[in-house]
Amino acid sequence: MEPPADGWWRLELEVPPELEESLLWRLETLGIPRVAIGFRPDQPDRRLLEAWLPVADWPTGEHPRLEAALQALGAPFGIPLPPLHWHTQAEEDWSLSWKRHWQPDPVAEGLLILPAWLEVPAEHRQRQVIRIDPGSAFGTGSHPTTRLCLEALDQRPPRGGTVADLGCGSGILAIAALLLGARRAWACDTDPPAMRATAANAALNGCDDRLQVTVGSADALLAQQGGERADLLLANILAPVLTDLAPRFGEILGDDGVGLLSGVLEDQAGPLLEVLAALGWAGQVRAVLAPWVVIEIVRHR
């Protein structure tokens, strides 16, 4: 039964880990920003995506179009998308339901991702808090590729250095680097909502005066750097895009700089490392959170 025209749908979908970032990106491009990924820190592989859609924009007849758009995301990975479940949601309930899915999320030994409206739990007060508005853009810290980068930053804080974040999403990685002691960060994303989300999240964390963000890719990032090369490159982007951007890494990173590249599946690491080696980079898989890896690169000596 079709709910009232001023009502809401609540869409539920079990999320394959390989498709999480792609699903969040696709929903954003389809004009569906009210999205949450529910998970428990002790069961990070069990994730439920929920999205809230106004009935006026998504009547029943439009559901097959959305399902087809999301199904296509699994094709490159050979992964069928689990069934989508549609439920009605009263107008006055959806925002509270959305927020209930977000809890404080400890990462690595010393970080805590905290939704902006929550207080720091007593048991996590010794951690470095990263405040994030989960509704603003994808990149909340729940995806394995983001967690791999955060763990690497926590293990080796970029104190006093400069950071370039290529494909910043919500800005969580650049913000984490600044909170861990980086002096300055430049960030870019091809998606305008991501730029706005990064700026808003930087303000939440009191580091907006040290972070510049713009719309675009490598050229936009280099324009911000103004000839200064970064000490650390963060790029949490899918492997084919990293391959395309790899020739620009030498312009972005200083001679002694380090790059952390995530968004790479285990079976994609070898081919990407070969591309990087041909461009003068020594790379190694630094950590694995199956099926994803993070690659660290430095210049060949």
Mean pLDDT value of segment 141-161: 89
Mean pLDDT value of segment 47-58: 80
What does the pLDDT read at residue 138?
Answer: 56
C-beta of residue 198 within 8 angstroms of C-beta of residue 207: no
Mean pLDDT value of segment 150-174: 96
Instruction: For the chain, give the percent of residues with pLDDT over 90.
Output: 53
Mean pLDDT value of segment 258-277: 95
44: pLDDT strictly greater than 90? no
Domains of the chain: 8-100 (3.30.70.2170), 135-299 (3.40.50.150)
CA distances from 5 to 62, 141, 157 (A): 14, 34, 51
Higher pLDDT, 52 or 41: 52
The model's pLDDT over 76-129, given as tens digits with 9 standing for 90+, comes to 888 888 899 998 876 555 555 556 657 788 888 999 999 888 999 999 999 999
How much is the pTM? 0.74
Rounded to whole angstroms, the Cα distance separating 259 from 297 reads 5
Rounded to whole angstroms, the Cα distance separating 27 from 92 reads 22
142: pLDDT strictly greater than 90? no
